[in-house]
A and B are shown apart, each in its own frame.
Chain A
Amino acid sequence: MEQIQRRPFRAVSAPSRLLDGLQRWLPKLVVAPTFLLIGVGIYGYMLWTGVLSFTSSSFLPTYDFVGFDQYAKLMANDRWLTASRNLAIFGGMFIAICLLIGVLLAIFLDQRIRQEGAIRTIYLYPMALSMIVTGTVWKWILNPSLGIEKLMRDWGWTSFSFDWLVNSDLAIYTIVMAAVWQASGFVMALFLAGLRGVDSSIIRAARVDGASLPLIYWKIILPTLRPVFFSAVMVLAHIAIKSFDLVMAMTAGGPGYSTDLPAVFMYAHTFTRGQMGLGSASAMLMLGAILALIVPYLYSELREKRHD
């Protein structure tokens, strides 16, 4: 009975059903190629790298599996240990100093000063440069026979010494300097946006209660910017872990291999030294490091949403 009754309607509703279907499927069709590309280009290759890390691949992929041999080799490799230690130094200092400078700059710019727009642009400018440019420029500035040291000596301070770039114990800190110069303006921009979003009535209320300006920032404003801190750390951490071009431009991993980072190690072994298996193993460990950062972050983010 019902079917017979419905039949006359069908002719009328067919086009609109088609539209309905289209409306439902079109977005999925539009994003499908993207998902496919991501699936193959990111997750597929990630998986492939994982597989290769268990093989004895030399300079082209081969598939004779050797278990955890490559990881064992990696752990016994002095250069890999140097690279990991450098990442800890570089990553830790880079994130900490960028946050510190970024927050301070943002707070200063938040004081309704004159020419704020111009100053903001200047601070943000380094971000517009590629890391290669930053690295090359800083290489010249820090080179003892070209840059600061020579300048000071030419000006008459002949005992002045600033040779970190060519000192294998200190060279990694010169990379921190260049990276901080590049990224702290970006952190400032993030925080400035966050600061502008803070409700001014809270600040006024605190003022009325007699709190000093530093105390207001420290106790009230910065704690409300916790999400901004999170995103800043996330962005900086992944810049630190994948950092490659800056090191290549500034020191190429030298002197010796004292400024090697895992990304540089991975590239050298996979693509120039014909040790694809070892390189893949190092890539997998880098992936592990990033996951160790991202998973807790995603977990905390998703859990908060459920609370709302």
Chain B
Amino acid sequence: MNTFKKTLSAVAMSAALFPATSLQAGEVEVLHWWTAGGEARAAAALKEMMEEQGHTWKDFAVAGGGGEAAMTVLKTRAVSGNPPAAAQIKGLDIREWAKLGFLTSLDDVAEAEGWDQLVPPMISEVMQYEGEYVAVPVNVHRVNWLWVNPEVMEKVGVEVPGSLEEFFTVADKLQAAGYIPLAHGGQPWQDATVFEAVALAVMDSDTYRKAFVEHDMDVINSAVMEDVFAKFAKVMSYVDDNAAGRDWNTATGMVIRGEAAMQIMGDWAKGEFTAAGLTPGEDYLCAAAPGTAGEFTFNVDSFAMFSLSDEDNVAAQKDLARTILEPEFQTVFNQNKGSIPVRTDMDMSDFDACAQASMETFKSSADTGELVPSLAHGLATTSYIQGQVFDVVTNFVNSSDKDPVKATDQLAAAIQAAK
């Protein structure tokens, strides 16, 4: 085992020292579900860069947005002892895979490349299991964004709301003028996306972390949580009645067409605006979700690296890990995907205004500790607790009597049962 590890690090070191002229050409098989438009272009960029280094890229794309189909395939492959080199696995699921002993250590690459200095500790923690890197972060999405149609706001004569109270007054005026104040799709993860934005606005980031990362029952079962649910119900009352089951991009379309004024959604919504030929700052505005200015809810895509036996393939795998965090790839990939680079030392001048603003908040919040993991996107907690919270939140939104006290009790019971 020890000698094996030594060979591994020797191979990795040689790969790190002579990046362009890799001696051993291996094959990397990469499981991902970036099959749509910009995502596919982003994945193709990675393929190209790997092939430049002399490796063979074996694409293992499984279509299906949330990656559920892909995960099923991955489980089968892993259990039968034939995992791909890398798989798109997110958040705490990385730890689950590592705990089962499927993942390989990337510490040698991380040390050689100085990942600890490049990536904020809140994010690198997620990539590690027992202090060892087992995954590489690819990009950062900010989830707590408010997307605004400025034309509608101007017609009604209101400003972009900075706090929840302002949001309520603005939304009342918009509603009176006949607009839908908030575009939304009634799917559990979208409900949770708005819920976590409201939670972050009502609580501070420390309390948020205590509730949704540490599952501190004193915070979950508290008057503050009741307040979160009450405000959340109020925010959701500005959504039109037909939202059930609507996709997020349809909701974004409503903002683009001016039927609705605002939408709370992560920065992948930018892709829809871009596809409609709109410019940020002019045709549409991006602002922090009401009450969360300076705070940053992150959703990080990452590749977990599986243990392989073939040495050439291991070398290729390490090259892949290194390439992903290189500035060149980070730029190309994130411009296509709408997210921002995970490295804080990047030159952002080629990115659009929203991405630049996002990066600024990313850096400042990483310093102040206002950088919090997204609950709705599986960065804060395990998929099981996340599911339980989804159930409570979505049930609350769709019930006819929205009782914050009852919902808080249900949330506490659900998290307690799932812990």
Known A79-B391, A166-B186, A254-B186; judge A58-B384 contact (CB<8 A). yes
B207 at the interface (CB under 8 A from A): no
Q: Which of A12-20, A87-95, A183-191, A265-273 contacts B (4 or more CB under 8 A)?
A: A265-273
Whether A271 pairs with B187 at a CB distance below 8 angstroms is no
Smallest CB–CB gap between A128 and chain B, Å?
26
| CB of A19 to closest CB in B, whole Å | 44
B16: interface (CB < 8 Å): no
Interface membership of A224, Cβ < 8 A: no
Provide the residues of chain A in CB contact with B1, threshold 8 Å: none
B384 x A144 contact (CB < 8 A):
no
Complex: how many Å from CA A165 to CA B245? 9
Which of B188, B242, B395 is close to A78, meaning CB atoms less than 8 Å apart? B395
The stretch of A227-235, A255-263, A296-304 that contacts the partner chain: A255-263
Does A134 belong to the interface (CB within 8 Å)?
no
Interface segment out of the listed B22-30, B67-75, B307-315, B331-339: B67-75
**Chain B residues whose C-beta falls within 8 Å of the C-beta of A274 in the assembled complex:** 93, 96, 382-384
Does residue A168 face the partner (Cβ distance < 8 Å to B)?
A: yes
* Interface pair B245/A78, CB less than 8 Å apart: no
- Chain A window 34-62, contacts with chain B (Cβ cutoff 8 Å), 1 for yes, 0 for no: 00000000000000000000000011100
In the complex, whether B400 has a CB less than 8 A from a CB of chain A is yes
State whether the Cβ of B275 lies closer than 8 Å to any Cβ in chain A: no
> A271 contacts which chain B residues (CB < 8 A)?
68, 71-72
Inter-chain contact A143/B242, CB cutoff 8 Å:
yes
Residues of chain B touching chain A, judged by Cβ–Cβ distance below 8 Å, are 66, 68, 71-72, 75, 78-79, 93, 96, 100, 186-188, 191, 241-245, 382-384, 386-387, 391, 394-395, 397-400, 410, 417
Verify if A76 is at the interface (C-beta below 8 Å from B): yes
* A286 lies within 8 A of chain B by Cβ: no
Q: How far is the CB of B227 from chain A (nearest CB, A)?
A: 22
The CA-CA distance from A15 to B391 in the complex, in Å, is 71
Contacts known (A78-B410, A145-B242); A258 close to B398, Cβ less than 8 A: yes
Minimum CB distance partner of B397 in chain A: A256
Q: Is the CB of B395 within 8 A of A254?
A: no
Complex Cα spacing A251 to B399, Å? 16
Chain A residues, CB < 8 A from B96:
58-59, 274
Q: Say yes or no: B244 contacts A254, CB within 8 Å.
A: yes
Measured CA separation A58–B93 after assembly (Å) = 11
Cβ of A113 to closest chain B Cβ, rounded Å:
41
Q: Tell me the A residues contacting B by CB distance below 8 Å.
A: 58-60, 73, 76, 78-79, 139, 143-145, 163, 165-166, 168-169, 171, 251-252, 254-258, 268-269, 271-275
Are A168 and B399 in touch, CB under 8 angstroms?
yes
Distance in Å: Cβ of B62 to nearest Cβ of chain A: 13
A residues less than 8 Å from B387 (CB atoms) = 268-269, 272-273, 275
Give the distance to chain A from B186, nearest Cβ to Cβ, in Å.
Answer: 5
- Please determine whether A139 and B71 come into contact, CB atoms closer than 8 angstroms: no
B267: min CB distance to chain A, Å: 24
Shortest A306–chain B CB gap in Å is: 46
Contact B72–A163 (Cβ < 8 Å): no
Q: How many A-B residue pairs have CB under 8 A?
A: 89
A79-B395, A255-B245 given; 6 more Cβ-contact pairs under 8 Å: A60-B100, A78-B391, A139-B245, A254-B187, A257-B188, A272-B66
> Residue A252 contacts which of B187, B243, B382, B410 (CB distance < 8 angstroms)?
B187
Ranked 10 nearest A-B pairs via Cβ: A256-B398, A166-B244, A255-B244, A273-B387, A168-B398, A256-B394, A255-B398, A145-B242, A274-B383, A144-B242
Report 14 cross-chain contacts, Cβ distance below 8 Å, ordered by A residue. Answer: A59-B75, A60-B79, A60-B100, A165-B244, A166-B244, A169-B400, A252-B187, A255-B245, A256-B191, A257-B394, A271-B72, A273-B386, A273-B387, A275-B387
Contact B245 A252 (CB under 8 A): yes
Q: Which B residues are in CB contact (< 8 Å) with A251?
A: 244-245
Q: Across the interface, do A166 and B391 meet the contact criterion of CB distance under 8 Å? A: no
- Distance in Å: Cβ of A296 to nearest Cβ of chain B: 35
A271 to B384 CA separation, bound complex (whole angstroms):
11
Give the complex CA separation of A255 and B79 in angstroms. Answer: 35
C-alpha spacing A251/B188, complex, angstroms: 12
Min C-beta distance of A153 to chain B, whole Å: 12
A292 to B: closest C-beta gap in Å: 27
CA distance A60 to B74 in the complex (A): 11
Closest to B387 in A: A273
Q: In whole angstroms, what is the CA distance A164 to B78 when docked? A: 43
Q: Write out the residue numbers on chain B whose beta carbons fall within 8 Å of the beta carbon of A144.
A: 241-242
Q: CB distance B186 to A255 under 8 Å?
A: yes
Chain A positions within 8 Å of B245 at CB level: 139, 165-166, 251-252, 254-255
A251, closest chain B residue (CB): B245
List B contacts of A169 (CB < 8 A): 400
B residues in contact with A272, CB < 8 Å: 66, 68, 71, 383, 387
Query: Please, which residues of chain B bring their CB within 8 A of the CB of A273?
Result: 383-384, 386-387
Which chain B residues lie closer than 8 Å to A269 at the CB level?
A: 387
Contacts of B410 in A (CB 8 A): 78
Taking CB atoms, residues of chain A closer than 8 Å to B72 are: 271
CA distance A256 to B186 in the complex (A): 8
CA distance A251 to B72 in the complex (A): 23
Chain B residues with CB under 8 A of A257 = 188, 391, 394-395
Q: Give A257 to B390 CA distance when docked, in angstroms.
A: 10
With most chain B CB atoms within 10 A of its CB, the pick from A163, A171, A275 is: A275
Q: Which residue of B lies closest to A139 (CB)?
A: B245
